[in-house]
Structure 1
Amino acid sequence: MTSWDDLYDDAARERIVAEPAKRVPAPVRTPFERDRARVVHSASLRRLAAKTQVLGPQADDFVRNRLTHSLEVAQVARDIAHPLGCHPDLAETAALAHDLGHPPFGHNGEAALDELAGDCGGFEGNAQTLRILTRLEAKSVDADGRSVGLNLTRATLDACTKYPWPRSADRAKYGAYDDDLPVFTWMRSALQDGTPAGRRCLEAQVMDFADDVAYSVHDLEDGVVGGHIDLTHLDHADERAAVWATVRDWYLPGADDDALAAALARVRAVGVWPSTPYDGRRSALAGLKNLTSDLIGVFCGSVHEATRAAYGEGPLARYGADLVVPVATVEEIAVLKGVAAHYVMRSPERLALMERQRQLVHELFAALVASEGSALDATFRADHALAADDSARTRVVLDQIASLTDQSAVTWYARLCR
């Protein structure tokens, strides 16, 4: 029988800084169990409870925030990883960590910070996640006293890296800032022979797919319960055409109407698709919850079946396989995401709110820069004092803003900008 040591060698279990054996009695844990515990106990994970998923955390007690979304992604990732044979704790940790780098106001805040980061190499939520895990989250230091973040294993960091390449002109998404290239290079230094430089490990692919699955069904559920989405509207051709346009703009540029209509028909055949507008009764909510559960099962089952058909029944891990996602599943997920995007993210009220959020981020950034570090939290104030140039100081200000929750960003703005 294949053991974890066979699937994850010494290089996969190596940490940036070697750690001595514990001096106090403690339960015997695998390196990946220890990694998971470090992420679970991190301040960055706790902050996600007050950061926007799609609707702001203050909008309704029911809607997901970034923390509850991450917990759901972790559950889906574990369910995918276990039957494939890759380490479920490793996949779960990657899922728990995948949104740590998101700033206040979700992707809207991310775009605003990127607009302000021209002189220091941009801002990207996934690159910020690596920075948090390897530098900003306090846990371990090297021999010179410099923070190495949570000091996670190489395999865990690799699994957390959705885009395993640095910033470049031809790629909008990336996984490491120039300032963090040394740790990124260390993380990728033990790739198996013949592995392409930009290839993701299987566990990262599991995390990414689990994120798509949770995003597609849960944002839809939140939109329906919040009164933003009426699924019966999809019975009308003009409504479907508008949703298809959003799907093409945001997710699948080349998809034609026939393919998207077929995908919608398939997801409507799963479980019991609502035939009447949501009315808030427990029976309606139960039906919606059962639908989302059935959809998750169908999506994960299709990927498991396709991946096993490609690679057989042995345990799969690291660079021994790629997750196989059928085209039909990609289209089905994109349709569900497109419904939420069209009726929630593109609503006039949402667009007006997003503009106010971007303005807040820009003005807060200007105030923090003008303070020359004095308005920063103590940790970031120390980073600012040690920064070598204006570019490095800009990065510290971005780190500070990215660490804020939605509400704390509003509070800081009220204190510094009014």
Structure 2
Amino acid sequence: MSAGPGLDAARLVTEAPKDTGYGRSPYERDRARVLHSAAFRRLAAKTQVHTAGTDDFLRTRLTHSLEVAQIAREMGARLGCDPDVVDTAGLAHDLGHPPFGHNGEDALDALAAGCGGFEGNAQTLRVLTRLEAKVLGPDGRSAGLNLTRASLDAVAKYPWERRPGRRKFGVYADDRPVFAWLREGAPPGDRRCLEAQVMDWADDVAYSVHDVEDGIHGGYVSLRPLLVDADERRALCADVAAAYSGEAPEDLGEVLAELLAEPVLAPLAAYDGSHRALAALKTTTSVLTGRFVSTVVAATQERHGPGPHRRYAADLVVPRRIRAQCALLKGIALRYVMRRPGAGPRYAQQQEILADLVAALLDRAPDALDPVFAPLWRAAPDDAARLRVVVDQVASLTDPAALAWHGRLVTLR
């Protein structure tokens, strides 16, 4: 099922045709708009897992997004998706993430309770359709980057509003109109288009494989305890079952044993940062990424045929064992990097910084807001809407900017 070429390529605000001299497709234009946006540039100084700027080797949100886009583009092209749609989705998928990674996301969610909470994916939709400056509607209001319906739908990892028992969601209440528009032509319910599924899997692949690579290089992750300690393996599997997988810990244990026995992982137990060790680490990264992509493409084509497939014509098929391997790698980053000893006080300090910033801006708005956000504050009809503007401002900051704003508005006050 597809919404149809005209519906897929439509933009919320109609734009006059552009004579660029080489006939770009609407989706090539979408990709360029994301790539040249201020929100995309800011990802260079936003934390992925490790604090941005602490090590030149380690990934930021920007490098992570580039890698997700590359994996998604390759996988999507093999399935017959429009490569620029999945590429755009990969580039854009983290634009709404705030300073300090998922820790910052959790902090802002609590601080934004009075206006419906905070979620990085819902914020991404807000950035793309409202906050980023590119196109104005007939009423003078920002339409954000004014991407096509197909590209916006491909970014919708969680196409639903907040629900009890679900931490993840993709749209705030006051963004319902644009969300309803982008979902025109979609089947009833929460089904995601194939391009969104491809982007989501590419995100999981990049997140799982690359965060372990960064952890090993940074000295936070060692495979030795998992190779020699059965209790440690059980503890990891329990973490993964609680955070990332519906599999039982004992079933994950079987997959983990197979994964640790693979020859491609063997050199990593003695990683020393040398040229030879780095080459072995990159080989492992390439092998695992290739496996996670090629197996999923083959399984999808086996179920749905060779394609081409796009939009709602097929669903991505991720075999159970591949999904479990990916979840285990994510669990390694969770257990040995994000939950490493000494991380707690730093996370608490980051949350305190964001809480201080929200409080200070609520007290000093609109004068203390950026010129982009001050008019939105003045036009807000109530306290909840004004809180949302402040949260939008704080979420837009990079890690260093959040520290600088805190020093200017709070520490030096």
The corresponding residue for 2:343 is 350
Q: 2:191 aligns with which of 192, 199, 219?
A: 199
Offset at residue 321 of structure 1 (A) = 0.3
Tell me, yes or no, if the aligned pair for 1:270 and 1:291 is still in contact at 8 Å.
Answer: no
Question: Cα deviation per residue 1:99-126 (whole Å; 9 max; x = unaligned)?
Answer: 0000000111011111011111111100
Question: Cα deviation per residue 1:61-88 (whole Å; 9 max; x = unaligned)?
Answer: 1100000000000111011101100111
The corresponding residue for 2:82 is 87
The corresponding residue for 1:136 is 131
Offset at residue 260 of structure 1 (A) = 2.8
The corresponding residue for 2:30 is 35
Question: Cα deviation per residue 1:192-228 (whole Å; 9 max; x = unaligned)?
Answer: xxx2320000000000000000001100000000000
Question: Cα deviation per residue 1:312-368 (whole Å; 9 max; x = unaligned)?
Answer: 112100000000000001100011111111001111222221111011111111011
The corresponding residue for 2:206 is 214
Q: What letter matches 2:312 in structure 1?
A: Y
Offset at residue 145 of structure 1 (A) = 0.7
Q: How far apart, CA to CA, are the structure 1 residues paired with 2:343 and 2:22?
A: 48
Offset at residue 250 of structure 1 (A) = 1.2
Q: How far apart, CA to CA, are the structure 2 residues paired with 1:154 and 1:112?
A: 31
User: Structure 1: which 5+ residue stretches go unaligned?
Assistant: 1-5
Tell me, yes or no, if the aligned pair for 2:365 and 2:374 is still in contact at 8 Å.
Answer: no
Q: What letter matches 1:304 in structure 2?
A: V
Tell me, yes or no, if the aligned pair for 1:270 and 1:294 is still in contact at 8 Å.
Answer: no
Is 1:404 the counterpart of 2:397 in the alignment?
yes
Q: What letter matches 2:5 in structure 1?
A: D
The corresponding residue for 2:181 is 186
Q: 2:13 aligns with which of 12, 17, 20?
A: 17
Aligned residues: 409
Q: How far apart, CA to CA, are the structure 2 residues paired with 1:159 and 1:416?
A: 38
Question: Cα deviation per residue 1:170-213 (whole Å; 9 max; x = unaligned)?
Answer: 4221111011000000111222xxx2320000000000000000
The corresponding residue for 1:226 is 218
Q: 2:330 aligns with which of 337, 340, 344?
A: 337
Offset at residue 146 of structure 1 (A) = 0.6
Offset at residue 246 of structure 1 (A) = 1.5
Q: Normalising by the residue count of structure 1, what TM-score does the alignment of the two structures yield?
A: 0.95
Question: Cα deviation per residue 1:389-408 (whole Å; 9 max; x = unaligned)?
Answer: 11110000000000000010
Structure 2 vs 1, CA of residues 289 and 8 (structure 1 numbering), >3 Å: closer, same or farther?
farther
Q: What letter matches 1:205 in structure 2?
A: Q
Partner SS, residue 139 of structure 1: coil
Partner SS, residue 42 of structure 2: helix
The corresponding residue for 2:164 is 169
Tell me, yes or no, if the aligned pair for 1:231 and 1:274 is still in contact at 8 Å.
Answer: no
Alignment of 1:198-347 (within 5 A): 198-235=190-227, 236-266=229-259, 268-269=261-262, 271-274=264-267, 276-347=269-340
Structure 2 vs 1, CA of residues 246 and 284 (structure 1 numbering), >3 Å: closer, same or farther?
same
Q: Normalising by the residue count of structure 2, what TM-score does the alignment of the two structures yield?
A: 0.96
The corresponding residue for 1:383 is 376
Alignment of 1:77-116 (within 5 A): 77-116=72-111
Q: 1:414 aligns with which of 404, 407, 412?
A: 407
The corresponding residue for 2:41 is 46
Fraction of identical pairs, as percent: 54
Q: How far apart, CA to CA, are the structure 2 residues paired with 1:232 and 1:406?
A: 33
Tell me, yes or no, if the aligned pair for 2:268 and 2:280 is still in contact at 8 Å.
Answer: no
Question: Cα deviation per residue 1:355-387 (whole Å; 9 max; x = unaligned)?
Answer: 110111111110110113211111111111111
